[in-house]
Every structure is written in structure tokens, then in C-alpha cells.
Structure 1
Amino acid sequence: MTSLYEDALYEDPMLARFYDLDNSLQRTDYAVYLNRASSAQHILDLGCGTGTLLTAIAEQYPHTTLVGVDPAQAMLDIAQQKTSRVRWVNSTAEKLNLDMKFDLIILSGHAFQVFLTQEQRISALQAMQRHLTADGTIVFDSRNPAVEEWREWTPELSRESLTTQEFGEVTLWNDVAELNGIVHYQTFYQQGENGPIFRAESDIAFPTLSDIAQAVEFCGLRVRYLYGDWQLNAFQENSPEMVFTLEHASPSSVNS
């Protein structure tokens, strides 16, 4: 996930490099996004981070026109080193004003959860609606708040190690606190057993299905599909994810 608002985890060049190591193509959601990209011509990745997903799309689908948007220049600096096939744009979601529309808009890695209020969610969805072709789709995910996944983001349960070419062994873990529906968590990265520890703090929301559905309808969009995981099983109350595919509520009234 990358932030569409200011966040030290994404703005700091060193932390951005650690983030890039921790967000590989092994993620289960990438296969779905790559499949959706196969039939698209113009693709926008909103909150593209270090560009791992768009780089893979560029390699697999040379016919596509690709734009990656992120407010964190440190992330885009890394993305620009991966491919020149993508137009990289430094912008927040609510200020997005591109000169084209897209038949596929994606927000991967729970990027939607960086919008902490209903007003921010509506602003982001309105920006996507403006940039969506008449028959285009928006695909994004948000963790199901009923599952309370953040309770597992403790140092004991979240700790893992990565062996990297650039930094050697890196250990990473989280710590977390929840207040009034906003989850505040810290991400730690340590080089080696006794090396320096880098820390960043982030806030994310866990909006309910009702919250998201209301924002979607307000913005002139509708839910075409709703899945409960990245195996695309039907959404249930205890599903870990809410995976949305949106489209215009009235596609015939939209100018492409």
C-alpha cells in the first residue's frame, strides 16, 4: 500500500527503498490486476508506490498506455528507474487532473484505506469517476473491518525477515493502536541482527461496506462485483477483504 496523503514511510528515500523490498510480485492481489490489465488499453494506477505492479503490466502488455500517480516523490524516484514505459505523475488523489481517461483504474495494496474520512473517500472516488471512460472499471480493495486484522499487527505476530541483495538481512515488524476507527501503526525495519532500526508511523481507516457503498453511490458509480478475497470468492461477513469492481452508474451519459 502507498499513501495518497503525506506519510513518512513513503516520503523518506531510505524508507521507500525498504518498502520496495517488502512489496514484491508475490502479493496475491497482483495476479488479479495483471489479468484485468490484459483487456485494457489505458490504465491508471492511483497510489502506484515504487511502480512494481505497473512495471509488470508494461512488460506483459506492451499495447497499454500506463500512468502511475503517487504523492511521494521518493517512491516515484524508484519507480522511474524500473521502466520508461510509464508516465509517472506526482499528485494527491483529490488534486488529480490528467488530460486523458482510462478504461481501468486500480488502487492496489489497500491504498483506499489511507482516506481517513468519508469526505476524503468521496473526493478520491470523484477524481476516479472523472478519469474513467464510459465503459471503464475501477478495481480496489479495503480490509473488512469486521475481521479486525489490525489486532495481529503486533511485534510478536508481524515480525518477518527478508534476505536482500542491497541490505542483506532485513527484519521488519509493526506495532499498532486503534482509536475511533482509525488505526495508527508503526513500521520498523532493522538491518542485520544489531543494525540500525528505521521507523515510520502511518494512519489508516477501516471503512465499513456501508460507508464505501454510500460514497460510491454519491459519486455516480455503482458496484459491479464485490469479492471477499483475492481468489475472488463471494463476499461474506467474515471475509478478510472487500474487493470492489466499480463502473459508472449510467455509462451511456458519460462522455469518453
Structure 2
Amino acid sequence: MKAEDNLEKYADPAAYDERHGGFAADVEFILEELGEVPARVIDLACGTGRVSIPLVRAGHRVTGVDLHEGMIGRAREKADSEGLDVRFLLQDCRHLDLPAPADLIVMSGNSFQHFLTNEDQDLLFEAVRRHLSPGGRFIFDTRNPVLHELAEPDRYEESAVIGGRSVRELHTETYDPVSQVLRCETETIDGDPVRRDAISLRYTYPLEMERLVRQHGFEFERRYGDWRRGEFVPGSGQVVCVCRLI
């Protein structure tokens, strides 16, 4: 699957902001890691600027990169409305081409799972390495594969508020243990016709991640079970990786 064919979930940037815009634990974590000295930061898969914009408010120089034109457009609108100097660029993170290296590269929102193949993951790490200053860091999160949760297809319903309206969402999730990809399909019931979208997400196991990090010239500084710095244990639903370029 091409990366540009896996973006249905982001068709409505305003609705994405409405649902996810209030999450701030990753922003707080990243600001703590940066400290008070202004730094150069690249925010990969930046979406609507949820992470980039607060970093700029704190005095850091930020470049946001995303593959989705609509998400980048909304990020620019938000930054412009506050008079903030943020460079938002439409690029594929696997083929990153920026003029200056960064002290820190971040990737939040479990965006690492969009890199579905070993080749995609390799290209991402190579791009990150090329764009980091010596000793720079790469901080990213991804869902941790918990086998009993992935073993059987899951179907569930939940309510959501989109555009001020309450809607029903029916989700079907099916995991392929060979490709390690979870296929998530959603039917949104909000009148007629029913809206459908889907997304594919790659799961990476802890030892795979350790090898990937070392293979590309990084070392783990720390690893957490969430953005609140909880301990990473086998049953953690998430892993936050803090890697340094060797």
C-alpha cells in the first residue's frame, strides 16, 4: 500500500482537530526534554500543527512536515492566525529534504505505525539520521503490540462528537500476524449515506525496535510506557522512544 493511499482518516482536518486537539501529554513531554534553550526542531507527520505550534510559542524554531495537503493547510491557517513563524512543508517523511539539520526530531500521534514495511521504516530512520545534528535526538511513539488484544478480530461501537453533532461509529479491526498490520475499518452513522473509511497500522515488537534503532546509528536513551513517563512493561499499550544519534 502506498502511503498516500492510507490517509482516509484525515479527510476532514477540522474534525481531526475537534477529536484530538485537546491531547497535550506529548507536548508537555517534548517541552520538558527541550528545556529553556531555543532549539531547532522538526515535527514529522505534524498534521494540523498540534505539537508544532506550542513548541513555537515556547520559543523553538520548528519545521513541520506532513504528507497530507489538507492537514498542512489547516496547520498554516492556525499558525498564521496567531502570527507565529512556523514552516509547514508538504513532504514524504521517508524522502525528507530540508536545508538545515535539527537538534531534535519528533513524531507523535503513533504516526510511526504508518510506515507499514521494513523498507518504509528503514527509509524513515535514514531520513531522520540525515537531518539531525551530531548527538541529536529522535523522540517518537507507537502502539505496543499486546498479543491477546490483537489475536482475534474486534468489532465495537462508540459515540463521537463531530461538527457539534453526536454520531455513532462502528469499528472493525483485523490483525494480520504475517505483515504485522492492523486493518481498522469504520462506519460513521450520521444520516444517510453511511460514511466509511479505513486505515492500516504496522505494529513493531520491542526487540525489532531495538535492532532498528541500533542498525541506523541510534541508541535508546529511555523508553516509556506513555507520555507521562510511565514504566514500559510488556502489557503497555504504547511505547515512547527517546533515541540519540551516536
What's the TM-score bracket when you normalise by the shorter of the two chains? Answer: 0.7 to 0.9
Q: Deviations over 1:179-207 (max 9, x none)?
A: 1321011234444xx36543221111111
Equivalent residue runs for 1:56-205 within 5 Å: 56-59=54-57, 61=58, 63-84=59-80, 85-146=85-146, 149=149, 154-156=155-157, 159-162=158-161, 166-179=163-176, 180=178, 181-191=180-190, 194=191, 197-205=194-202
Partner residue of 2:241?
A: 244
1:105–1:132 CA contact under 8 A, matched in 2: yes
Partner residue of 2:231?
A: 234
Q: Which of residues 217, 231, 234 in structure 2 aligns to 1:220?
A: 217
1:122–1:216 CA contact under 8 A, matched in 2: no
Give, in angstroms, the shift of residue 109 of structure 1.
0.8
Equivalent residue runs for 1:20-39 within 5 Å: 20-39=17-36
Is 1:9 matched up with 2:5?
Answer: no
Stretches of structure 1 lacking an aligned partner (at least 5 in a row): 250-256
Output the CA distance in 2 between the equivalents of 1:123 and 1:247: 17
Secondary structure of 1:229's aligned partner: coil
Secondary structure of 2:127's aligned partner: helix
1:6–1:71 CA contact under 8 A, matched in 2: no
CA distance 1:129–1:200, change in 2 (3 Å): same
Give, in angstroms, the shift of residue 10 of structure 1.
5.1
CA distance 1:66–1:244, change in 2 (3 Å): same
Give 1:161's aligned amino acid.
Answer: A
CA distance 1:88–1:247, change in 2 (3 Å): same
Secondary structure of 1:81's aligned partner: helix
Secondary structure of 1:88's aligned partner: strand
Q: Percent identity?
A: 24
CA distance 1:8–1:21, change in 2 (3 Å): same
Give, in angstroms, the shift of residue 107 of structure 1.
0.6
CA distance 1:201–1:236, change in 2 (3 Å): same
Q: Deviations over 1:76-119 (max 9, x none)?
A: 11111100321011111111010011111111011111111122
Output the CA distance in 1 between the equivalents of 2:50 and 2:192: 27
Output the CA distance in 1 between the equivalents of 2:210 and 2:87: 31
Is 1:41 matched up with 2:39?
Answer: yes
2:40–2:62 CA contact under 8 A, matched in 1: yes
Q: TM (normalized to structure 2)? A: 0.86
Output the CA distance in 2 between the equivalents of 1:244 and 1:155: 30
Q: Which of residues 30, 35, 52 in structure 1 aligns to 2:50?
A: 52
Secondary structure of 1:237's aligned partner: coil
Secondary structure of 2:73's aligned partner: helix
The alignment of Structure 1 onto Structure 2 pairs a total of residues equal to 237
2:65–2:88 CA contact under 8 A, matched in 1: yes
Secondary structure of 2:229's aligned partner: coil
Secondary structure of 1:52's aligned partner: coil
